[in-house]
Structures are given as C-alpha cells and as structure tokens.
Chain A
Amino acid sequence: MEIKSNKYRLYFKHILIISIIFIMLIPFLWMLSTSLKDPKDILGGGIWFFPTSFTLEHYIRAINETLFLTWLKNSTIIATILTIGQIIVAFLAAYAFSNFNFRGREILFYFVLATMIIPEQAIMIPQFITINNFDWVNTFTGVIVPNLASGYAIFLMRQRFLEIPKELSEAASIDGCGPLRTLWHIYVPASIPFLSAIGVLLFVSHWNDYNWPLLVLMQEEKMTLPIAFSSFQHEGLVEWGPTMAIATLSMIPVLIIYLVLQKKFVEGFTNSGLKG
C-alpha cells in the first residue's frame, strides 16, 4: 500500500513540476513561434501560438534592416568587461574582507551589502550627473565604470573565501607569498568552480541590463541588445515578428554559455542561497 501511495505522490510531483515548467516556457515558446510566423498570422492567429505558417523573413529583416550585429558586439563587449571587472574587484575586496583585520572592516562590509539593497533607480540621476562630468555620456566607459564593483559578487566571494582554511594562506605566507601572491596562487585556484558559476550569473545579468545603458547610450550604433528591441516599434504599431526575432537571437549567446556551464551555474545558485 505504502509503495503505491509513494508512486502516486511521485506522479503528482512530476505533474506539478511539468505544469510549472510549461507555464514558465509559454512566453519563450510564444516568442519563438511569433518570430517564425507569417506576418499575417501573428495578429490573426488567435490564442493558438504554434506557427501554422513558417518563415525566416523576420530574422532576415532583423539582421539586414538593423544594426543587430553591432548591438550584439556591443552587448558582448560590455557584458564581458563588466563580468571580468566585477570578478577582479570581488576577488580583491573579498580577500581583504575575509583575511585582513583592519579598523572599520565590519562597517565597510555593511556598506557593500547596502549596495545590494539600494535600487538602481534611486541612484540613477546622481550617477548620470557624475558620468556627465567625466564626459562619459554615450560611451561604453560610462556604462561600465560605475558598475565595476558588485556588492553581490563581493558578498558571494567573501563567503567562499571564508570556507578556505586559514592555514593555507599562512603556509603560503611562510613559503614566501605576499597577500597578492597568496590570492593568486592559493585563493583563485581553490575557487575556480565557484568562479565559473558566479561568472555566468554576472554575465547573464549584464547581458540583460536595460535601464542604465538606455540612459547612457544615445546613438543607435552604441546600443546594446535589450535597448535595441524597440527598433521595430513605431508610433502606434509594433512589428512583433522582427522584434521577437531580435529577442530570440539575443538569447542564443546566453543559452550557449548556460548550457556549457549548466552544472556550475545551478551549483552557484544553490550555494549562494540567493536568487539571481
């Protein structure tokens, strides 16, 4: 009897999980199907979202009529530099927070945590005025520099570093390492699995950055993919087909990175105990 009830429980669990996955997948499937549908079917197809017609026209238009490849390049440059920069800053800051005893360490760390709490919108205007003073409006520098330090990355990296036995850095210091060498020779290699996870998390979040690049980047050829979605939105009319084609194409790089590092990505989420 018990085995049977366990079996039903398992069925129930699976049905529940599949339904949740389905609900989450609908927008993606809708995006994909819209991007492949004949323009006539997009608005006339009712709620049935699988394409009855099939065309690559929207993709061709998206690539030919817009600066899609430039935007792709821009997004890649900005997301990559931000990810690498944030990891470097996080390594150094986390090492200091976990290994050095200095006055005000705790307070400083609370400030780092506070950057995770304050919403982006709250500091947008002063931040914009600052980069304007530097003449960085409409430049990648303006998008990148204010975001080079991530409280989230510093926090996660510090937690990881605290797990590394202190004796290792002591042994290294006796062996002849200064703080930077200890970081490079001991802490970085010991954190590589964690590093790839956190790298993916950061890359995905910068790939999807919208508000700040929208504010800083003015010219079309400087834009990143998320702000370029509006290219086919005209007054009173949205061309859903090409818009969805751009959305689908812009997902591909992230999807590839995710698939390659899938295992570590999930580990990163589980270990952090936080949502991305």
Chain B
Amino acid sequence: MASLMFDHVKKRYGNSELTVKDFHLEVKDKEFLVLVGPSGCGKSTTLRMIAGLEDITEGSLYIDETLVNDVNPKDRDIAMVFQNYALYPHMTVYKNLAFGLKLAKEPKEKIDVMVKETAKILEIEHLLGRKPKALSGGQRQRVALGRAIVRNPKVFLMDEPLSNLDSKLRVQMRTEITKLHKRLGATIVYVTHDQTEAMTMGDRIVIMNEGVVQQVASPDVIYNNPANKYVAGFIGSPSMNFINGRVIEKQGNIYFTTDNIKLPISKDNTNDLKNYINQEITFGIRPEDIYTDIKQVDTNESLVKYTAKIESIENTGSEMFLYFSVDGEPLTVRNKSNPNIKVEQKITLYVDMNKAHFFEKESGTSIKYDRLLTDNE
C-alpha cells in the first residue's frame, strides 16, 4: 500500500478557469480519504489526475514518493472503480477479473488463484461464468470492486461507485466497502456527492467547492467544527440554520441580534466574538441543537428560550422536522416524533447557545474554528 502527496496541484481545461485550484494534501498509507462536494467542484477531476486519466496542469503528484505527473495510468499501480462500473461487456466475470493480471503477464495458475480468492471475498464465485449483462446492479458493483482488488494495487480510486444503486443496496455496499478497507489495509481515495457516504466511510473528508478545498478533517471535526459557512451548510441533513445579524454589547454581556431576536452569547463563545462587536455576522445552529422540550437536555445553562409558530412539519416516523421562519429566514428544528405537535401551533424553542456557530459575514470563515481546533489538539 502507499501514500499520496499532492503538491499544489492545479488543473485547467483549455483556456477556461482552473477546475482544481491549488490542491495541496497528503494522503497517508492505509487511509480512507473521501472527496465530497457538489457536481462540478473538481473532485472527480482530482481523482482522475491520480489515475493519470487527466494531465496535471501545474504542481506535482507523488505516489509513494515517486513523481507520477508523466507516468501512464497502467504504470501507476492503481485501480479504479467507475460510477457506471465499466465492466468489459464481451468478457465473463472471470475474464473481467483476470484481464489486468493477464496483461501483467502473471502465470495462469496464479491468476486463477487470485481471481477465485477475490470472488470468494466478494461472494461472487457463482457468477464467474456470467457476462455483465446477466448481472444485477449490485452484482456488477461487486465485480467492479473485484476487478480493482484482484490486482492488489497501491491505491484504490473510487468514483461515485454507489450512486447507481438503490438506497437499500447502497447502505449495504457502504458497510462492505468499509469492511473491505479494513481487511485489505488499502489506501482508498473515494469520490462522492453524498454526504452520508462521506461521513460514514471516510477516515478524513475533503470538502471541495468550485475547485477549492474548503476543509480537510475527520468526519467528527467536519461536523462539529466546520471551517466555514459552506462546510457547515453542506454537511448535515437537514442543514445548519443560518441567521444574519449583528453582535452587540450591553452591560458587559454580548448578544447576537436581529430585528426581532436577541440571543445572549454563552460564556464559552464570548471571547471569540469580542472582536466582532457592532459587526454583521452569520449565526449558525444545527437543527438538533434546538429543543422543544427542556427535559431533553442535560444542562440548561446555555439554553435560550424563543417562541415561534410552526409553519410546516415533515414526519419521518422516528423523528420530525419542524419548520419556522425567523426574520424571514427559514429555521429547521429536529425533534422526536410527537403527535401533539401540530402545524400553526406556537411552541417554545430552547436554543443551545454553546453549540452555536458564528461565521464572518463576507468571507464565511468560522469565528470559533481556530479555538476549537486548538482545544481538540
């Protein structure tokens, strides 16, 4: 297995703007790295640059300390799983798996052993004689994975491999890929637009937008300490609530205010906001950090009460999402399912101000980010 090093890598198609702007990152040996972002953010391009399917415009890429900018895909010792599987339609599953080994001139007996072993790991032994068109989506996905692992490459690249599967199968394959990663001890770079996949599978997540890396961190850090408003809004479903307002100071206390609300800043956050007094900022709070019942919370030290009218409700069975409007901006609250809560009802909300996030209005940078980062260290 291997490490990867991106040294200020940039990609431009023709004379257009940069598709990937200054990608600088080290992927550790045996790491499961997930690149996530909306379509067109440059994540697939980055993956294809690792594969050698796209040229690198500027910067250097190293696989195991070897510069690979000008190395052919076949000489990089990588394997890739494609979104549409890209199985060779005229070959049986066995031949699909054996193809790469055959080209590498491995002896026939060894190929046979490796193919059968891989088929066993993925439980596709009974499919070896079939052609891809006689397989279901899930089976094709397994074969595509098999084609990657059979060669025992240095790095696995996966380009949205689960996006063509139905949701149930996707959950199942998610677990299997994670297990496979542990079992093989492989270095995996995985591209997805699905934040759940990113959060559940990755050791580290790279969030990209418009060709720029927004944040690289473990799922936990990404969720609890987003580097900016983009990351905060992208990860989490339903996404974080944002309210624009102003920081003011009154009698030694600091408040976040809009036309209709005035929220006292909790002690923990006071220091962060001292430099922003009388400035416009964006306040952010996750839907699960607002409660409808004070009993749900262990500590009420940092809770702030706010009464609002429910505009609509989405009930998923185990929980419900309550939608409000605060100063014309939408506010979502995640709550346990409760048949007594009805639309149009006025309800008291308890906002946990300790969990609040604050972002600079113009740049979107998180105001708490640096402090939390040091706290974690």
Contact = CB atoms under 8 A, between A and B. Distances in A.
A171 B80 CA distance: 7
Nearest to A181: B103
Nearest to B99: A175
Given A181-B103, A189-B90, A174 B84 contact: no
A84 B51 CA distance: 36
A176 B80 contact: no
B74 A167 contact: no
Interface in B51-104: 51-53, 72-74, 78-80, 82-84, 86, 88-90, 99-100, 103-104
Contacts of A190: 89-90
A189 B91 CA distance: 9
A174 B73 CA distance: 5
A176 B104 contact: yes
A174 B89 contact: no
Pick from A165, A168, A175, A181 the residue with the most CB of B within 10 Å.
Answer: A175
A174 B80 contact: yes
Interface residues of A, number: 18
Contacts of A192: 90
A113 interface: no
Residues of A contacting B: mostly: helix
B52 to A, nearest CB: 8
A170 B88 contact: no
A177 interface: yes
B103 A170 contact: no
A174 B78 contact: yes
A222 to B, nearest CB: 41
A247 interface: no
Nearest to A177: B103
Contacts of B151: 175
B259 to A, nearest CB: 53
Contact of B100 (A165, A167, A170, A176): A176
Contacts of A186: 88
A178 interface: yes
B84 A175 contact: no
A171 B90 CA distance: 14
Nearest to A167: B86
Contact of B74 (A165, A176, A189): A176
A178 B75 CA distance: 11
Interface in B308-340: none
Contacts of A175: 74, 99-100, 103, 147, 151
Nearest to B84: A167
A173 interface: yes
Contacts of B147: 171, 175
Given A165-B84, A190-B89, A174 B51 contact: yes
Interface in B80-133: 80, 82-84, 86, 88-90, 99-100, 103-104
A172 B88 CA distance: 9
A167 B144 CA distance: 12
A189 B53 CA distance: 23
Contacts of B84: 165, 167
A176 B86 contact: no
Interface of B: 51-53, 72-74, 78-80, 82-84, 86, 88-90, 99-100, 103-104, 147, 151
Given A170-B51, A173-B72, 13 more contacts: A167-B83, A170-B82, A171-B80, A171-B82, A172-B99, A173-B73, A174-B100, A175-B99, A178-B74, A185-B99, A186-B88, A190-B89, A192-B90
